[in-house]
């Protein structure tokens, strides 16, 4: 279980960085320009909702990638999801997180595994692919987290699961360590460690961009 802690912490850090990134960029860019920058991530986000809803036999409606402002927040895209039970609603809401994480892990894995081959294709090709990867990670990681509307009903499910877990524990149901050992195999632990490494890439990209923006703002303030 301890191997999962760094992964959860990275996801939490990336979540807050994505919120900070959208607030920071919205101060300098229009909604339409933001939608263009984050378009790959928006497409992945909404398609994730759509595909999981179809798999779970939940009716879907129109899908939009046109940005809209709701109060102080900006909604970059949307897909209409029919009424369903809280469990399927939560799975549909969480879909972009799982899909986005899979895309990030897969992209970084193949890039790092084939880096020598890519370098052998020439400096220009390698630089272009590196920039494309950085942009893909930036767009996907900053749009993969679900909104409050996406997560409707999730709180009730988590509370219910917590109550069931506590009740089962009080009634004497204690899982054996042998069961946990079957789950947390060496292959599973290695996968978690690689995922932790892969998730560092979008975090570093966000920190670099946010740091650059803060440096520019600080420099302008000193000149005025």
Task: Give the number of other CB atoms < 10 A from CB of residue 191.
Answer: 13
Q: In the prediction, which pLDDT does 197 show?
A: 83
Task: Give the number of other CB atoms < 10 A from CB of residue 172.
Answer: 6
Distance, in Å, from the CA atom of 178 to the CA atom of 78, rounded to the nearest integer, reads 44
pLDDT in tens, the chain (224 residues): 566 788 888 888 988 898 888 888 877 777 778 888 888 888 898 899 889 989 988 888 888 776 666 555 566 677 888 888 878 888 888 888 889 988 998 888 888 888 888 889 888 999 999 999 999 999 999 988 877 666 665 666 667 777 877 777 777 776 665 555 565 567 767 777 778 888 888 999 999 999 988 888 888 877 76
Q: Give me the count of residues in the chain.
A: 224
pTM of the model: 0.78
At residue 156, φ and ψ (nearest 5 deg) are -60, -40
Task: Give the number of other CB atoms < 10 A from CB of residue 167.
Answer: 10
13 closest CA partner among 221, 207, 209, 208: 207
Q: In the prediction, which pLDDT does 154 show?
A: 61
Task: Give the number of other CB atoms < 10 A from CB of residue 117.
Answer: 9
5 closest CA partner among 189, 148, 169, 160: 189
Spans of all domains in the chain: 4-223
């Amino acid at each position: 279980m301890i191997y999962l802690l760094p992964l959860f912490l990275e996801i939490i850090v990336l979540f807050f960085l994505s919120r900070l990134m959208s607030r920071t960029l919205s101060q300098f860019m229009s909604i339409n320009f933001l939608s263009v920058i984050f378009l790959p991530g928006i497409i992945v986000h909404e398609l994730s909702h759509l595909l999981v809803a179809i798999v779970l036999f939940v009716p879907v409606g129109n899908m939009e990638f046109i940005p809209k402002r709701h109060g102080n927040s900006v909604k970059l895209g949307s897909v209409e999801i029919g009424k369903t039970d809280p469990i399927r609603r939560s799975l549909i809401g969480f879909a972009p997180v799982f899909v986005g994480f899979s895309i990030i892990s897969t992209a970084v894995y193949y890039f790092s595994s084939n880096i020598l081959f890519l370098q052998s294709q020439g400096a220009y090709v390698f630089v272009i692919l590196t920039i494309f990867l950085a942009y893909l990670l930036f767009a996907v990681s900053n749009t993969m987290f679900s909104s409050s509307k996406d997560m409707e009903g999730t709180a009730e499910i988590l509370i219910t699961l917590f109550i069931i877990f506590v009740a089962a524990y009080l009634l004497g149901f204690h899982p054996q360590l042998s069961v946990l050992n079957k789950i947390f195999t060496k292959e599973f632990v290695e996968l978690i460690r690689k995922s932790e490494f892969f998730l560092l890439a979008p975090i570093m990209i966000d920190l670099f961009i946010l740091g650059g923006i803060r440096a520019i703002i600080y420099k302008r303030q000193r000149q005025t």
